[in-house]
Amino acid sequence: MTKEKIFVTGATGFLGSYLTRNLVNQGFQVRALRRSTSRMDLIADVQDQIEWIEGDILDIPVLEDAMEGIDKVYHGAAMVSYDPRDHKQMMKVNVEGTANIVNVALYRQVKKLGYVSSIAAVGRSAETHIVSEATKWENSKINTKYAISKHQAEQEVWRGTVEGLPAVIINPTIIIGAGFWNETSCKLFQRVDEGLKYYTSGATGFVDVRDTAHILVQLMESDIENERYILNGQNKSYFDFFEKVAKALQQPTPTTEATPFMKEMVWRAEWLRAKITGKKPLITKETARTSSHRYEYLNDKIVKELEYQFRPIDLSIQETAASYLNSKKKGQEFGILT
């Protein structure tokens, strides 16, 4: 039996590459969107088995051509930035781009949409420390501009469901795995390898990139419609996480907790450095102020409905660290977990 035709956005990125490889290896006919400048390193092993469309999610005619004859859409393309200079463009890409995907999917009568959201889009506040799918969104100072953009993008997906487009939404916590070492959460391993002295008092959730990709495909192949799922392998303090990464990389463990005063000074110094050099700040006001919050994310819903068993995060850390060290030895800027 001929497998369904799939359209993927964000296929050359971190999570997107694992997702797309999963689909190709399962025999789906995959069509994917890429920019002319997209690096293909993370998807090179299967890129010849994919039909590529050049363009982006803000180009409606391109999307209309790309979704012709498509059965299901996986929408993972997004802009992630905590730099105030990027906020306007990020809102455009994440919200307007998702609206375009939804509208064209409706026009092309796509059977189902899988949307990669973020844990940041789930409701959080200073008073809320245990978060589940039932947690309501609140307009809070804790919400970053990125969180707001993903929340509003989700509203476009829910609008699509009302208009007749079946969909599932995943909200991964911090995704751990090998990718481009100077991007996304992969940069955490590079930062520890360079020497990390300070840690923050906060806690959050972590999930393996392979689990994230596998679960989304399972959800899309199931009869589940119009539901959202938090994907979280394990909750950890930042200190515990960085301690495990440091040991796996054979580097010193961070020893000093960053005080609120230190964090305020650091983000201001980074703002000034970025202003002078034109480079993106490593730490922003948003990231500095959210790094001390402690959240526990519940994964009961996905575990129950798919009977899914997540990889232990300590194992993910060890495997990612090994991939990083191997890349470093080869002089390679990226790694891939199997």
Question: Which token pair is 45?
Answer: 């092993």
Instruction: Identify any residues that bridge with 52 across adjacent strands, giving them in sequence order.
Output: 32
- pLDDT value of residue 254: 85
- pLDDT value of residue 1: 56
Fold of domain 5-181+205-235+296-314: Rossmann fold (3.40.50)
- pLDDT value of residue 262: 53
The contacts found for 314-322 with CB under 8 angstroms, 24 or more apart, are 314/244, 316/176, 316/177, 316/206, 316/208, 316/233, 317/176, 317/241, 317/244, 317/245, 317/248, 318/248, 319/178, 320/176, 320/177, 320/178, 320/186, 320/189, 320/248, 321/189, 321/245, 321/248, 321/249, 322/248
- pLDDT value of residue 9: 98
What contacts 328, CB < 8 A, 6 or more positions away? 193
By CB atoms closer than 10 A (0-12, 13-18, 19+), residue 196 is: middle
pLDDT by residue for the chain (338 residues), tens only, comes to 568 999 999 999 999 999 999 999 999 999 999 999 999 999 999 999 999 999 999 999 999 999 999 999 999 999 988 888 889 999 999 999 999 999 999 999 999 999 999 999 997 776 778 999 999 998 888 888 999 999 999 999 999 999 999 999 999 999 999 999 999 899 999 989 988 887 777 889 999 999 999 999 999 999 999 999 999 999 999 899 999 999 999 999 887 776 564 555 554 555 555 566 666 555 555 455 566 678 899 999 999 999 999 999 999 999 999 999 999 999 999 999 99
3-state secondary structure of 77: coil
- pLDDT value of residue 117: 97
- pLDDT value of residue 221: 97
Give dist(CA 90, CA 297) in Å, integer: 25
* pTM, full prediction: 0.92
- pLDDT value of residue 267: 45
